[in-house]
Amino acid sequence: MGANAVNINYPVDSFGKQIRNEESLMKKPALFDLTGRVAVVTGGNGGIGRGIALGLAEAGAAVAVLGRNEEKNQRVISELKAIGVPSIAVKVDVTDRAGLEPALNRVESELGGIGILVNNAGNVSLSGGVLQEKPEDWDNVIETQLNAVFLLSKLAARSMLSRKGGKIINIGSMYSFFGSGLVPSYSAAKGAIVQLTKSMAIELAPHNIQVNAIAPGWIETDMTAPVRTMPMNEEILARTPVGRWGQPEEVAGTAVYLASRASDFVTGTTIRVDGGYAIR
């Protein structure tokens, strides 16, 4: 090296890999740069999941969307490819236990080892309460909102162990903290997500795997559309200090943070993204 050569100490990500993409570092702070990471987002073809998938892609991650609606899968893949990151969509229903491991295996064969898992896929039974809710509807919500999170996290964590690190992000809800007489199965599952997040965080911390949750407030999605036509919509707006519903992309920033090196010392926590709803 010449006398005037400069030794550059490139930043190191949470997997011990030097980040050398100078153009990428110029575009976004190194701490939040996800270049070289592979992210899986369940239910990433619409609503909050789509917003998170696009946000992770904007931060540089390769993104795999897991969803059961092929038309919506292809729509979001077009958006991801327009951002310019490697991406695939895998058609799978997260309640199909036998299909989960093959889905993740396909992601790893096509994109590489999974470093980020976002457990976002969800559904709801607007039953009106335990007296009205059918057992089969209860089972389907719990299978989608809770059991699939456990199963996918277990599979992804095993893969992350081989690379000595990773990030698991679970999606909770305001009903992780508050009860609801209208959607008891949804509330039960989302409450359990917070405790599952804490438990996994304790177990996986020694392996450099951080596990956290995001609790969105009232976000405009297809799933919440019925609520916006109900009398409780006025109560929601009055209780939310910002005075409006949130947009799916407004959850993405928190997901990028929890997926990045910036959150390496953050685990077992649940971050509310709710426009202040929970402080009243």
- The residues annotated as belonging to the active site are 186
Burial 198-231, CB ≥16 within 10 A → b, else e: bebbeebeeebbbbbbbbbbbbbbebbeebeeee
Side-chain half-sphere of 87: how many Cα atoms within 13 Å?
Answer: 28
Helix axes 135-142, 184-204, angle to 10 degrees: 30
Do the beta carbons of residue 218 and residue 240 sit within 8 Å? yes
Instruction: Report d(CA 90, CA 97) in Å as an integer.
Output: 14
Give the number of other CB atoms < 10 A from CB of residue 152: 25
Q: What angle do CA 39, 41, 47 make, to 5 degrees?
A: 140
